[in-house]
Structures are given as C-alpha cells and as structure tokens.
Amino acid sequence: MLDQPGIEFIGEINEHQKAEFLGQASGLLFPIDWPEPFGLVMIEAMACGTPVLAFNRGSVSEIIEDGKTGIVVQSKDEAIKKLPHLLTLNRRRIRHEFERRFSAQRMARDHIGLYQELLKDEREGAFQSDALGMLSKLISRGQPFNDQSGAALLLRLSTCRLGRYPQTSSLRQ
C-alpha cells in the first residue's frame, strides 16, 4: 500500500510536530476495528479543527458528532462514499466543539462538580456504601466525564471516602 501514489509513510512524530501535522491534514482517518475505550487521536485532531472519519467501534460515536465534527461509518465502502462530505465540514466548528466538550477547563469543571456532589451526599448522609453505586448514580444523572483518568480519580476519591483504601496522598502515583 505504501508504494501507491499519494501515500507517504511519516513515522513517529513529536508533540510539537503533531499539532502542525494534524492541523494541516484535510482529515483524520480512524479505521479502527476493535472497541477502543478512548481514542485520544480523534480529540487531538478535533483540537486542530481537523475532521475525523472513523469506523463505529468503541468510543467513536461518543467522541465524534456525526456530520458535525466528523463522519462515523460502518464499513470501508461507506467510508469511501462519505469521504468527500468529510472534506466539507467546518473546521472552526470542529475546533469550537472540541473546546466545548474536551478542553482541560471543561473537564476540570466537570470533575470539581462531581467531587462536590460526592462530598455533599456524604455530608447529607446519603452516601452509598458502594463506590460503583455512586458512580452509577452520577452517570445516571447525566454528569459527564470524558477521560479515563477522571473516572479513576472519582473512583479513588469515593473508595478513599468510604475507608476501603488508604487516603490518596499515601497512594503511589
């Protein structure tokens, strides 16, 4: 495949090069075929205003807003058919959606809100005895968190508050 016209193998690039590379790309192809729990590269592309064409596996449909920040497809044939539409998506709108949904400030605000709710429930005596039950409660209320580390921190906080594990400060990072 690498010997086809218009295809160039780039290899590994550093963080500085990545922003320029993704920012200048017409689009990001994400032909995943396994249940990726969190596709960071899709969000990195959106941060550069670059539309994403991705197979509907794993977290793709949670990250890409079909027709807005990219195109979600079911097959290679559909990807080929929809590629021209991908190139018409508004890059400024994609960047705006990245800021609205995935910026560090947004995630920090969401995490603080979740932690405040945990503390409030504990003070009110409504704290559930099971940390997973608490996570389920917050998720069912529509409280978003968009990264695995946030979920892990939230779980760590809840289990520490329940006294099941040592306080966070004594845990190895």
> Residue 60 in 3-state DSSP?
helix
Query: Rounded mean pLDDT of the chain?
Result: 78
Provide the phi-psi class of 110: left if phi over 0, else alpha when psi is between -120 and 50, else beta: alpha
pLDDT digits (tens, 9 = 90+) for 89-112: 999 999 999 999 998 888 888 888
Q: What is the pLDDT along the chain (173 residues), one digit of tens a residue?
A: 567 787 778 889 998 899 999 999 999 999 998 888 888 999 999 999 999 999 999 999 999 999 999 999 999 999 999 999 999 999 999 999 999 999 888 888 888 888 888 777 766 665 544 555 555 565 555 555 444 444 444 444 444 444 433 333 333 33
State the Cα angle at 66 between 63 and 71, rounded to 5°. Answer: 95
CA distance 126 to 120: 9
DSSP E strand boundaries for 48-164: 52-55, 70-73
Helices (H), 25-103: 40-47, 60-63, 76-86, 91-102
pTM above 0.75, yes or no: no
pLDDT of residue 113: 85
